[in-house]
Structure 1
Amino acid sequence: MALVHNCIIRALNSIYLQAPHIQPSDHKSFIAYCLAAHDGLQAHHDGEEEFFFPKIEHITGRKGLMDGNVQQHEAFHSGFHAWGQWLQDARSGKTEFDGEKCVALMDAFVAPLSTHLADEIPTLLALSQFGASLDLKSLSKAEGDKVMGGLSKTAQLPIFFVNHDETFEGGIHSFPPIPPPVKWVLRQCGRWNADWWKFGSVGFDGFPRELRFRGE
């Protein structure tokens, strides 16, 4: 879960920092990158609310146990949805992309989102009180497989690859937790829209890189 959250944070940071400096020639690609981040986060939270949290409550017999997490989702949903709708309008040509507008819309939800992403980890760690009866590792993998499997391999999933630092904590984490040959294939699929992923904080080799569009 922390690895997913790290990817989301890196992706949103890369958007926030670069948006004011994107030139019109790159607007189309940048909007697609932003929408990939939006859709990835939306899919992650849908997966939690529709599968992960209900499974935890069912196994523990504690209905409402995860309500605090759902409430935190709701705290940033309005601003997050407004940002996503604006991006959709920019992609369709209903409105023009503006970097400062993008940042202003993000300002409406990044604070409560950051609180949620930080709080959720200790909330999950506290579930250790239920011992072996609650196999969080298996549940988390099942939710991750469901979410990742539902994302477009060329238009959405690569947002996680270009924002997961393979060198993090000495490179001990494999993310997504899939066999290397499958990961290699997915990375190749991501190159299909290479112009979108140049805004990522990590290259397809898994190594962090300087953001290309930071201005002077």
Structure 2
Amino acid sequence: MAAEMSIVHNCLIRMINSVHNQCINVATRGTDADQVDFANYAFQWTEWLHEHHSSEDSTLFPSMGEIAGVPGLMDVNTNEHAGFHDKISRYANYLKEVIRGKEKLDGEKVKNLIDSFMPELHTHLENEIGTLVNLESYDKVDWEAWFKKEVGKMIKEMMGQYEYRVSSLTVNTKRREFF
């Protein structure tokens, strides 16, 4: 379970790194359409992170405490989510304004917004893996089987939602509205 979560966390880090590394280039050399597309790409990362943390907070982590017989077992990780939530919201809100055409993409601003939350987020992503590795002390639970079953249910539910299937990485650049 920790290994699979490490892959998800690595993808989150790589995607935000790509935004951080390219935001100035796109802002200074990209067309208006390039900038809106890039802002949408950067915004979709916030949606993915939100979905990831929401599923942990509402479903996975409470269930893990219950089946291990230790309510609140994962609270330390859930509590860390609050530490960077507002900073990521500022980042997301700025990107929405760029997508809607109310702001111009400013690469330095994007970089600074990322720099405001990334140290805390990176620490959290590392800490969470450590917490998951330590679950081996609750060996009465087949964590791998449980995790695959729970994630499978969540994916089935999400993919059953039309809005989820069509909205990811999609924005109407002509109207600059979210679907």
Give structure 1 stretches of 5+ with no counterpart.
159-191, 194-216
CA contact (8 A) 1:47 1:147 kept: no
CA contact (8 A) 1:69 1:116 kept: yes
User: Separation in 2 of the partners of 1:106 and 1:60?
Assistant: 36
CA positional deviation for 1:59: 0.7
Deviation larger for 28-37 or 140-149: 140-149
Give the structure 1 partner of residue 10 of structure 2: 6
The structure richer in helix per residue is 2
Correspondent of 1:123 among 123, 131, 135:
131
RMSD: 2.1
Tell me: CA distance 1:39–1:149, structure 2 relative to 1, closer, same or farther (3 Å).
farther
Correspondent of 1:136 among 135, 139, 143:
143
2:102 counterpart of 1:94: yes
CA contact (8 A) 1:36 1:155 kept: no
Between the two proteins, what is the percent identity of the paired residues? 32
CA positional deviation for 1:78: 1.2
User: Separation in 2 of the partners of 1:74 and 1:4?
Assistant: 19
CA positional deviation for 1:24: 3.3
Q: Equivalences for 1:9-158 in 2 at 5 Å?
A: 9-22=13-26, 23-25=30-32, 26-131=34-139, 133-145=140-152, 146=154, 150=158, 152-153=164-165, 155-156=167-168
Q: What TM-score, normalized by structure 2, do the two folds share?
A: 0.80
* Alignment length (residue pairs): 158
Give structure 2 stretches of 5+ with no counterpart.
172-179
Instruction: Tell me the amino acid that sits aligned with residue 14 of structure 1.
Output: S
Where does structure 1 differ by over 6 angstroms across 4 or more consecutive aligned residues?
Answer: none
User: Separation in 1 of the partners of 2:105 and 2:156?
Assistant: 28
Structure 1 counterpart SS, 2:82 = helix
Q: What TM-score, normalized by structure 1, do the two folds share?
A: 0.67
